[in-house]
Amino acid sequence: MLNTSDLHVPFTRPPGGGWLALLGGGEFSFGETLDADSAWVEKTPAGAIGFLPAASGSTDYPQHFAAYLRESFERELENLPIYRGRDGRREKNAQRVGEVAGVYIGGGVPDHLIEAIGSTPVATALEQRLSSGGTVVAIAAAAQCMGVIARSVFGGNAITALGWLEGGVVEPNFDPEHDRRLRQMMRQPGVRWGVGHSAGVVLVGVLSVLVGVRVRVTVTLEVALGEGVSVGVEENVGVSVALLVVVGVLLPV
């Protein structure tokens, strides 16, 4: 059994009994995320699932995703009309977040999502939804926004993200052969670890647990990382060879 103290990587997230699911990317319309979506749908309580479209700004995205959820999982979707900062500040929208069983944060542009919900009542409501047993799902750019920083679409500069993953960053649509972007993010101040997260892979976590749908590694917290996931850690932490083999690529700062 591996112990997380060997890793020196704090896989932490907002407290509570809900599930946080981070998807690396993929097109749901082509079935690329079907297995990953099955993992978080199973963990989501009965009731409508809210869709937060701020990252893309699209009105078609929630309509197509609603049809997909209904056909694939017999679950209903409710669009949460949050597109810009004033929407994130509306208490009515925060209430809507609290009324659904879970919230799916669609992909798009990190800047747009952070501008819309960063430090707003909606962001607080999402954390409360998680702490009270609901599910919060974030895909691609939205998953990256769960870290302490995200990469801006404007010039690729690092911008302050939502900070749900203490000291951590997420690189979605990750290709292990091209890890430069993840390495660059991990050089930013305050970043201690990073996850390279491939399309079609999901990390689902409860409390401080991460569970990948394809490969499981048991540690003190039961940390599991799916195939196609790479983890970056601080240099010279003595990561065991066993974990290196299972996880894949370990990226030093």
Q: Say how many domains are in the chain.
A: 1
27-41, 56-70, 185-199, range with the lowest pLDDT: 185-199
Digit-coded pLDDT (tens) for 59-72: 999 999 999 999 99
Give the predicted TM-score (pTM) of the model: 0.79
> What single letter denotes the amino acid at residue 164?
W
In the chain, the percentage of residues whose pLDDT exceeds 70 is: 72
Digit-coded pLDDT (tens) for 226-246: 344 444 433 323 222 222 222
Which span out of 28-42, 89-103, 197-211 was modeled with the highest average pLDDT? 89-103
For residue 24, give its domain range.
4-252
Residue 108's domain is classified under what CATH number? Answer: 3.40.50.880
